[in-house]
Structure 1
Amino acid sequence: MTTARAIEEQIRETLSEHGELHVLELADRLEEHPLTVENACTRLHQNEDIVPTGRGVFSPNYRTG
């Protein structure tokens, strides 16, 4: 089982490399359950690490690097 912190880091890395992605695509790329990825994205958004762009799609927060 992957830790929440490890999933969040994988999400940040994947979005930095590929730009905007939907939660389902992130889950597929990370081989994690979509709900696990959605929850991680919510935490990352609350920390301003990523930004939602609409309907389950997230992108890196370019303002924070």
Structure 2
Amino acid sequence: MSDPAQRRREKSTANMRAEEIMSELNRETDREILDILVTNAPLRVMDIAKIADRHPITVDQTCARLHEQGHISPLGRGLYDVTDDGIRHLENIDGT
């Protein structure tokens, strides 16, 4: 049986890895939604979800995060448009 300190270190390492994976998934989803909005904006959450083949709750949460970051703006009733900052952010991600 390992000591309690070792178990805590192992758990901490596993938690950090899980957070890294979730962060990467969030970045991929953010990029995908920004791409969709650049091409098709304005769109409603349900339309974005259909295009991205993602669950509407995932899209809604991602849109809320992107709005908090200033990358998209709500136009009302679940309708979103990409901001100039969102376009710049997407260009930086793509390296263009």
User: Normalising to structure 2: TM-score of the pair?
Assistant: 0.62
Cα RMSD, aligned residues only? 1.3
Higher strand proportion (structure 1 or 2): 1
Structure 2, unaligned runs of 5 or more: 1-23, 88-96
Of 45, 48, 59 in structure 1, the residue corresponding to residue 67 of structure 2 is 45
Partner of 2:32: 10
- Percent identical pairs in the alignment equals 30
Higher helix proportion (structure 1 or 2): 2
Partner secondary structure for residue 46 of structure 2: helix
Which runs of 4 or more aligned residues in structure 1 lie more than 3 Å from their structure 2 counterparts after TM superposition? Answer: none
Of structures 1 and 2, the one scoring higher in RCO (CA 8 A, sep 6+) is 1
Aligned ranges 1:25-40 → 2 under 5 Å:
25-40=47-62
The structure whose Rg is larger is 2
Structure 1, unaligned runs of 5 or more: none
User: Cα deviation per residue 1:8-63 (whole Å; 9 max; x = unaligned)?
Assistant: 1011111001110000000000000000000000000000000000011100113x
